[in-house]
Amino acid sequence: MSAHLLAIPLHPAHAASLSLRPGAVQALAGMAPLPQLARAYHAAGPAWTVLDGDTPIACGGVVRFWPGVGECWCWVGTGVDAVPVAFARLARRIVGALVREHRFHRLQLHARLDDVRANRFATHLGFTLEGRCPGFGSTQSGQATYNLYGRFRTWKE
């Protein structure tokens, strides 16, 4: 595949076509089926699909808690492995656009403690480790420990 990536508004059906990385499969264990989850997340805030050509390789977005605050989510497929740098750069631009266009002053995300890639990705996106959340995962995922990351924009910026 090419490194020509495009972010488009999420089509929940794209989530079903992702071949998820093992870490994502583990994190989503015990939750609703992916197409159902994608519809719910799509309704809860801004969301997108990343395409490599015509192929969806990732879906992500923000569940808006209240004005200005939300939880980021991202389901990464194995297709990202062919274009990791291009994907990481695009994801960083998307997060910046979310802050500007949707007026988020705080975004946060959770990454499984044992998922090295997810934790590295969070820091690449500009998030700072704020703490640990033992037992945060679903029952089927063993109630794993997650890291909580935050990205906060002060009013003075």
Domain holding 135: CATH number?
3.40.630.30
Percent of the chain with pLDDT over 90: 65
The DSSP call for residue 156 is T
Mean model confidence pLDDT for the chain: 88
For residue 104, being part of any structural domain is answered with yes
Give the Å distances, CA to CA, from 128 to 50, 96, 121, 133: 24, 15, 11, 15
Question: Minimal CA–CA distance to 91: which of 56, 45, 59?
Answer: 59
For residue 85, being part of any structural domain is answered with yes
Give tens-digit pLDDT for 32-82: 888 899 999 999 999 999 999 999 999 999 999 999 999 999 999 999 999
For residue 74, being part of any structural domain is answered with yes
Give tens-digit pLDDT for 83-108: 999 999 999 999 999 888 999 999 99
pLDDT tier at 1, thresholds 50, 70, 90:
very low
> What per-residue confidence (pLDDT) applies to 142?
60
Contact 48, 60 (CB under 8 A): yes
DSSP three-state, residue 126: coil
For residue 76, being part of any structural domain is answered with yes
> What per-residue confidence (pLDDT) applies to 31?
84
For residue 157, being part of any structural domain is answered with no
Structurally, the chain folds into a number of domains equal to 1
More confident residue, 154 or 125: 125
Contact 137, 144 (CB under 8 A): yes
Range of the domain at 60: 5-152
